Amino acid sequence: MPEGAEALARERDDLRARVVELQEAVLRLRSAADLQRQADAARGMEIERLLEALREAERSDELRRNAAAELEEALAGIALPGHPGEIAPR
């Protein structure tokens, strides 16, 4: 094989090897993109769960505040002097 033909054959082989490397890189990039999509979906679901937990915590705090207000009113009612059935003096 003449020297020029050998050089062309080496260059062709190098280019083929490079094409194979690039094809493998594209496959890895596609795989990485798919994994990122899966991670984004999982993160989105977790954010929704956290937001729901936050809403429930806020609802729980509201109920506690309401319960505390009821207790304060009950305590205020029993802390008044006198009997509830007594008629106030004129």
Contacts of 1 (CB under 8 A, 6+ apart): 9
Label residue 82 by pLDDT band (50, 70, 90). Answer: low
The percent helix, strand, coil of the chain (3-state, each to 5) is: 85, 0, 15
pLDDT score for 88: 57
pLDDT digits (tens, 9 = 90+) for 15-57: 999 999 999 999 999 999 999 999 999 999 999 999 999 999 9
pLDDT score for 84: 59
Model confidence, pTM: 0.57
Q: How far is CA 36 from the centre of its chain?
A: 14
pLDDT score for 86: 60
